[in-house]
A and B are shown apart, each in its own frame.
Chain A
Amino acid sequence: MKRILNDLNKNRVWLLMVLPGTIWLLLFSYLPMFGQVLAFKKFRIDPDGFFASVINSEWVGLDNFKYLFSTNDAWIITRNTIFYNLIFIVLGLITAVATAVLLSELINKRLSKIYQTSILFPHFISWVIGSYFVFTFLSTEHGLLNLILGWFHVDPISWYNESKYWPFILVFMSIWKGVGYGSIVYLASIVGIDRTYYEAAMIDGASKWKQIKHVTLPMLKPLMIILTIMNIGRIFNSDFGLFYQVPRDSGSLYGVTNVIDTFVYRGLMNLGDIGMSTAAGLYQSAVGFILVIITNYIVRKVDEDSALF
C-alpha cells in the first residue's frame, strides 16, 4: 500500500513535468489532426467558436479530393515534390559524404576547420536571406550572371520568368545550404571510426585511396543507409522556404517550383479555399505517414538499432 502511494506520489511529479508539453501537443498537434476532418467538409465559421465551426460544417464527402485531383495541379505538385526530393537525396548524399571524407583527409587540420566553418555557414541562414543571395546573381537588371553575360555580349536573361533554369537553381541552392550540415554529420561518424582499422589496413599496404574505399566508406554505410531511408520517408514533404522564397513567389515559375507545401499555403492564403487545401494537406500527411511506416519497417530489417520504433 505504501509503495503504491509512493508510486502515485512520484508519478505526480512526472505528470507535472510533462504537463506543459502535453498541453502544447494537444493544442498544436492533436487538435489540428482532428481538424483534418475539414478535408471532408465545407468549412463555415460558426459564431460558437472553433469546435462548433468544425462540427457544424457540412459534410461533402470526397468532393474536396475530387476537385483537387480533377485539376492538373495535383499531378504537378506531386511530381515536383517527389522529383526534387529524389535529386536532393541522391546529390545530397554524394556531396555530403565526399566532402566529409575529403575534410577528414586534409593534412592541415586548421585549414579543415576553417573550411568546415565556411561550408556550414549557409545552414544558419534563413531562406529569406538566401533568396536575396540568389537575387544578387539573378536580378535581371543588376545581377551578376547577367553582368557576366554582358561581357560576352549575350542578351540578359529574365531569370525569374524562365522556368527552364529553375530545376538547376533549386537543386544547386538545396545542396549549397545542405552540404555543410550533411558533411558534418558524416565527419562526426568518420572521427569516431576506430583508428586500428586504418593501422591494420596500412600494415597490409593499403594506400590512402584504398583505406577510404575499404575502411571509411564501409564504416559510413549504415549511417548512409539510415539517413537515406529516413529521407525517403519524408519524400512528400519539402522545404517550404526553398520553393517559396528563392523563386520569389514568381507566378511564371509555378510549373517547376510548386510543391505540395507551397500549393497548400497558396490555397489557404491566396485563394482561401480551406476545403481543397486541407484535402491536399491530408493527402500529404497520409501518404507521408504510410511512407514513414514502410521505411521504418525496412530500417528494422537492415539494422534494428537504427529503427525509429
Chain B
Amino acid sequence: MPKLEQTQSSLAIPKSAEGIKGGEAHIPTKRYRDPQHLHPAANAIISVLLGILAFTCVFPFLYVIVISFTSEESIVRNGFELIPKEWSMDAYRYLWSMKEALLRSYGVTILITILGTIISVFMITFYAYAISRPQFKYRRFFTFLAFFTMLFSGGLVPTYIVVTQFLDLKNTIWALILPLAMNAFYIIIMRTFFLKSVSESILESARIDGASEWRIFFQIIFPLSLPGIATVALFSTLGYWNDWFAALLYIDDPNLVPLQALLMKIEANLEFMRQNMDVAIMQTSLFDTIPQESAKMAMVVIATLPIAVSYPFFQKYFISGLTIGGVKE
C-alpha cells in the first residue's frame, strides 16, 4: 500500500509544477513566492497521502483498543468490528482478576529495563570513551575487538550453549539482561560521538589542574556527552522493554516471564493465569463467558500504552540520536 501512495504522490508533484507555470502569467507577484513552497493543490494532495500513511501506521493500535472494549458476545457474533454494537469493560475486569501474574510480568519487564539500561550505558560509554582517547595506547586493538563482532557473529546456537551451559543463566533474570547489554554498533556510535564532541584542550586543562581520568569522565565528559549517552540509554531502554527473544530462548519459569513474552504465548498464558485465579472469583462466576479475544487485545493495549504515551516526548531525542550515528550506520 505505501508503495502505491508514493508513486501517486510523486506523480502529483509535476502536475502542480505545471500549475505554477500556468498561474504565473496572470499574477506576476506569485513568481517570487511559488518556487519556495508547494502549490496549494499539490500540498493538499500530499497532505492527504501522507495522512493516509500516518493513519495506516497508528490505526492498528486504535483498532486493538476498540476490540479490547468490545463485549465477547459481540466479537463471537460479529467479529472485530470497527464500531462494536456492544461495548464492554469485561476484558479489563478479567485481566484485573489476574492482576498478580500481570503485575509480576510488568515488574520483570521494568526491572530488566532499568537494570539493563544502567549496565549497558556504563559498559558502552566506558568502552567507547576509552577507545576514543588518543592517550590510550591499545585503543586500536580494543576498537577492533568490538568492531569485529559486527562483521562475524557467533551465531544463535553457540550463543545459546554458552549462555545455558557455560554461564548457566537459564531461568535467571540475567539471561534477560546480559545478552542484550552490549552492542558493537552503539560502541562505534558513541566513539564517533566522543571523538567529535570532546575536545582535547578541555581535558588538557583539567589534567593540568590535577584531575584524575575518572573525575574527568564523571565531571566533564558525562555532562558534556549527555545527548549521546541519552540516546544510547533510550535505544537500550526500548530494546529491553520490547525484548521477547531472550525470554523465548532462556526462560521457562512463569515467574520470570516479561510482558512481551507473556503476550507471545497468550493462549497458554491465559489458561495458566486462570488456573491461578482466585477460586472465589471463579465461584461467583463474574463472567458469563470468558472474554478470550478481547482480553488478548486488552493485554496488547496495556503492554503498548507506556510506549504510546511516552513516545511523543522521547521522539525528539530518538531523532537527534539517529543523526549522531546516522552517517556511520
Contact = CB atoms under 8 A, between A and B. Distances in A.
Contact of A98 (B10, B60, B76, B242): B10
Interface string A26-62: 0111111111101000010100011101000000000
B206 to A, nearest CB: 14
Given A7-B137, A117-B312, A136-B60, A264 B155 contact: yes
A271 to B, nearest CB: 11
B272 to A, nearest CB: 17
A188 interface: yes
A208 interface: yes
B312 A185 contact: no
Given A28-B178, A119-B53, A172-B1, A21 B146 contact: yes
A53 B165 contact: yes
Nearest to A292: B151
A125 to B, nearest CB: 7
Given A32-B162, A209-B16, A245-B264, A106 B155 contact: no
B187 interface: yes
Nearest to A20: B123
Nearest to B214: A13
A7 B213 CA distance: 13
A49 B167 CA distance: 10
A278 B158 contact: yes
B244 A106 contact: no
A86 interface: no
Contacts of B147: 309
Contacts of A245: 244, 264
B323 A176 contact: no
A129 interface: yes
A22 B145 contact: yes
B37 A136 contact: no
Contacts of A119: 50, 53-54, 57
Contacts of A141: 79
A302 interface: no
Interface string B1-34: 1110010011001101100110000000000001
B289 interface: no
A198 B147 CA distance: 39
Given A13-B214, A142-B293, A176-B2, A133 B60 contact: yes
Query: What is the interface residue range for chain A against chain B?
Result: 35 or more
A264 B157 contact: yes
B124 interface: yes
B106 interface: no
Nearest to A156: B79
Contacts of B155: 32, 35-36, 264, 278, 281-282, 284-285
B49 interface: yes
B29 to A, nearest CB: 15
Interface stretch (B97-105, B222-230, B297-305): B297-305
B58 A28 contact: no
A274 interface: yes
Contact of B160 (A29, A105, A268, A309): A268
A227 B34 CA distance: 33
B56 interface: yes
B64 A99 contact: no
Given A32-B158, A261-B156, A107 B37 contact: yes
B307 A124 contact: yes
Contact of B157 (A24, A108, A201, A281): A281
A257 interface: no
Interface stretch (A70-78, A143-151, A159-167): A143-151
Interface stretch (B38-46, B85-93, B110-118, B274-282): B38-46
Contacts of B151: 289, 292-293
A285 B6 contact: no
Interface string B132-153: 0101111100100111011111
B35 A206 contact: yes
A11 interface: yes
Given A102-B50, A207-B17, A208-B35, A35 B158 contact: yes
Contacts of B166: 31, 49-51
Nearest to A269: B249
A252 interface: no
Given A18-B130, A107-B43, A136-B67, A125 B159 contact: no
Contact of B182 (A24, A38, A125, A126): A24
Given A10-B213, A172-B1, 5 more contacts: A27-B167, A32-B154, A179-B53, A208-B17, A230-B329
